[in-house]
Amino acid sequence: MPFTSFLPIPPTSHFPIQNLPYCIFSIPDVSPRVGVRIGDYLLDLAFLEQYALFGPLLQGENVFARPSLNAFMAMGKPAWREARAVITDLLRADNPFLRDNPTLREWALIPVESATLHLPVEIGDYTDFYASRQHATNVGIMFRGKENALMPNWLHLPVGYHGRASSVVLSGQDVRRPQGQTLPAGGSAPVFGPSKRLDFELEMGFLIGPGNALGEPIPVEQAEDHIFGMVLVNDWSARDIQAWEYQPLGPFLAKNFATSISPWVVPMDALEPFRLPGPVQDPEPLPYLRPSSPGAFDIHLEVHLQTAQMSAPDVICRSNFKHLYWDIRQMLAHHTITGCNLRPGDLLASGTISGPTEDSYGSMLELAWRGERPLQLNSGETRSFLQDGDRVTMTGWCQGEDYRIGFGEVTACILPTKMEAQP
Q: What is the CATH number of the domain that holds 248?
A: 3.90.850.10
Q: Per-residue pLDDT tens for 396-410? A: 999 999 999 999 999
11, pLDDT greater than 70: yes
Q: For residue 377, is it within any domain?
A: yes
Give the span between the Cα atoms of 416 and 354, in whole angstroms.
28
Tell me: cis bond preceding 283? Omega within 30 of 0 counts. yes
Give the C-alpha separation, 180 to 64, whole Å: 42
Specify the 3-state DSSP secondary structure of 330: helix
What residues form DSSP beta bridges with 238? 198
Chosen domain end from 73, 96, 118: 118
Whether 358 is in a domain gets the answer yes
* Cα distances (angstroms) measured from residue 75 to each of 70, 100, 345: 9, 32, 12
| 347 close to 122: Cβ distance less than 8 angstroms | no
Per-residue pLDDT reduced to its tens digit, 275-307: 999 999 999 999 999 999 999 999 999 999 999
User: What would the mean pLDDT of 148-173 be, rounded to a whole number?
Assistant: 97
Q: What's the total number of domains in the chain?
A: 2
Antiparallel, parallel or unpaired: β 168-170 and 160-162: unpaired
- Residues 114 and 131 occupy one common structural domain: no
**Domain encompassing residue 30:** 22-118
170 and 287: one domain?
A: yes
Instruction: Output the CA torsion sign for 395, 40, 4, 11.
Output: negative
* Among 64, 83, 118, residue at a domain's last position: 118
What are 310-346's pLDDT values in tens digits? 999 999 999 999 999 999 999 999 999 999 999 999 9
d(CA 83, CA 147): 51
401, 264: one domain: yes
Of the candidates 90, 118, 146, which is a domain's last residue? 118
Q: Which residues have a catalytic role annotated?
A: 135
Q: 215 and 101 in one domain?
A: no
Same domain, 277 and 352: yes
User: Does 423 or 246 have the greater pLDDT score?
Assistant: 246
Give phi and psi for 3, each to the nearest 5: -80, 85
Average pLDDT over residues 197-212: 98
Distance CA 83, CA 75 (A): 11
Task: Work out the pLDDT band at 2, boundaries 50, 70, 90.
Answer: low
Amino acid 422: pLDDT? 52
Q: How many residues does the chain have?
A: 423
